[in-house]
DNA sequence: ACATTTGTAGAGTGATTAGTCAATCTGTAA
DNA sequence: TTACAGATTGACTAATCACTCTACAAATGT
């Protein structure tokens, strides 16, 4: 099964890159190390990814894709916008906690010059889902009437801050869930 | 005046490094470029900073110091905790907007393996001021009774999110101030 | 005046790295 | 069986980079 093995190598490379990037940073990780960690030859890496940059951007897009799929799979669409936001908020935080490396990589990537290299259509795709929801909620007067991007910024950074906090402090699952719910209530108080 | 000229070279180097790091990233910026931009010889850079890493960490500490001084200079201590938070919140956001490179550098730095290299006493120093204020406010029941670090995380990320938003969208000063104030009111609603 | 320390320069060095390439292997299809 | 396309390899290269070293200049102390 050739296409299977191709996918394996591709994902092996991405997984290896993720692990090493998170630990040593982009520049601290030579492509030779990534290849070694993935169990393939140096040249193979460049067979699948034209440049190191290409690998980095591909990894970002892959992570975003996986996160999107995860959230979508867990989504239970409600008429009630609050419940919708609540569900998604909780799922995103849980995903981030279960995939700390991915989460950390995204932050690292966002605050790097590589961020400018993501194709615009990728960015737009990711935003559209959320922006639509926010606009709907505003129309229904479920949340404050502010610029959509503004609301999105506040929600995103709130999610980020909470995840950062939960990552540093180690709580058991129950306590963690309580904090997440509490945190959403606070967020909602802010934007409702 | 030798000490003057020494300071000049040091600050020239930091300023050059800041500009280039923000544009090209840590690894995308060779020390030779930093020296050139600062108008000094390559070797001079290594006279003042033992390694590139040392330069990066020093730059971070320098920026944090300057920000702290700016905030402190503008501080008008109130008995009222809300007014205190409000003042500081506004000042931090304004500083970030006036010093976009510094702001961006800090994010870049925080999400990089270099963050682990900051001497612990530096970190503690910065946290103490804020944590004290938060604890006081909790005692006075001005804000919700939650873990100090939790509150701090939420405030920090809120500030960050707002600054990100204002940096991307370009508003005139009046509009900007309105948004900042509005944003603080929302933040306060969340934690009061 | 002299000695000593400190600052500055920039060519040089050794190590490292992204990316190439020619050769070999593997699977498929006629 | 043969032919062919893609996959895989790893030695190789050209370039780059962090950092050193030596020589000299400027400032400071005595």
CB within 8 A of A180, min separation 6: which ones?
A89, A90, A93, A94, A162, A166
User: Closest partner residue to A28 among B113, B156, B157, by Cβ?
Assistant: B113
Same domain, A63 and A119: yes
- Rounded CA separation A74/A116 (Å): 30
Same domain, B32 and B121: no
- Name every chain B residue with its beta carbon within 8 A of the beta carbon of A149: 165, 168-169
pLDDT tens per residue, range A20-61: 999 999 999 999 999 999 999 999 999 999 999 999 999 999
Q: Which of A20, A108, A150 to mutate to test the interface with B (most CBs of B within 10 A)?
A: A150
Interface membership of A21 toward B (CB under 8 Å) = no
Please count the structural domains in chain B: 2
Average pLDDT along chain B: 93
Task: Centre a 10 Å sphere on the Cβ of residue B47 and count the other Cβ atoms it contains.
Answer: 12
CATH code assigned at B87: 1.10.357.10
User: Which residue of chain B is at minimal alpha-carbon distance from A103?
Assistant: B111
Same domain, A80 and A35: no
Contact B112 A186 (CB under 8 A): no
- Chain A residues 150-189 with a CB less than 8 Å from chain B: 150, 153-154, 156-158, 160-162, 164-165, 168-169, 179, 182-183, 186-187, 189
CB within 8 A of A182, min separation 6: which ones?
B146
Same domain, B45 and B78: no
| Burial class of B5 by CB neighbour count within 10 A (0 to 12, 13 to 18, 19+) | exposed
Average pLDDT along chain A: 93
Same domain, A66 and A4: no
CATH code assigned at B40: 1.10.10.60
- Rounded CA separation B157/B161 (Å): 6
Task: Centre a 10 Å sphere on the Cβ of residue A169 and count the other Cβ atoms it contains.
Answer: 14
pLDDT tens per residue, range A104-135: 999 999 999 999 999 999 998 888 888 999 99
| Least-confidence region, from A49-53, A70-74, A183-187 | A70-74
Same domain, B147 and B99: yes
Same domain, B36 and B62: no
User: Closest partner residue to B154 among A107, A110, A158, by Cβ?
Assistant: A158
Same domain, B121 and B164: yes
Domain containing residue A126: 53-191
Same domain, B60 and B41: no
Same domain, A124 and A186: yes
Q: According to the model, what pLDDT value does residue A129 have?
A: 84
**pLDDT greater than 80 at residue B6:** no
Task: Centre a 10 Å sphere on the Cβ of residue B164 and count the other Cβ atoms it contains.
Answer: 19
**pLDDT greater than 60 at residue B5:** no
Same domain, B125 and B45: no
Same domain, B133 and B61: yes
Find the residue closest to C17 using CA and C1' atoms: A30
In this prediction, residues A81-106 reach a mean pLDDT of 96
pLDDT tens per residue, range B81-130: 899 999 999 999 999 999 999 999 999 999 999 999 999 998 888 888 88
User: Closest partner residue to B191 among A24, A28, A186, by Cβ?
Assistant: A186
Distance in Å, alpha carbon of B30 to nearest chain A alpha carbon = 12
Q: According to the model, what pLDDT value does residue B75 have?
A: 84
Contact A157 B160 (CB under 8 A): yes
**Residue B3: band (very low, low, confident or very high) from pLDDT cuts 50, 70, 90:** very low
Covered bases, chain C (protein CB within 7 Å): 6-12, 16-22, 27-28
């Amino acid at each position: 099964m050739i296409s299977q093995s191709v996918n394996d190598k591709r994902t092996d490379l991405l997984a290896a890159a993720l692990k090493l990037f998170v630990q040593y940073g982009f520049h601290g990780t030579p492509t030779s190390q990534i290849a070694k960690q993935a169990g393939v030859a140096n040249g193979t890496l460049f067979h699948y990814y034209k440049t190191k940059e290409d690998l980095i951007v591909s990894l970002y897009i892959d992570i975003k894709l996986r996160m999107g799929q995860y959230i979508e799979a867990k989504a239970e669409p409600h008429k009630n916008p609050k419940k919708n936001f609540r569900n998604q908020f909780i799922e995103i935080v849980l995903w981030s906690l279960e995939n700390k490396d991915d989460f950390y990589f995204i932050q690292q990537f966002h605050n790097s010059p590589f961020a400018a290299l993501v194709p615009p259509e990728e960015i737009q795709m990711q935003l559209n889902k959320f922006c639509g929801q926010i606009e709907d909620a505003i129309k229904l007067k479920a949340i404050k009437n502010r610029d959509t991007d503004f609301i999105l910024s506040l929600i995103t950074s709130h999610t980020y801050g909470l995840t950062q906090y939960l990552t540093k402090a180690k709580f058991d699952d129950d306590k963690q869930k309580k904090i997440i719910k509490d945190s959403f209530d606070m967020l909602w108080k802010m934007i409702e």
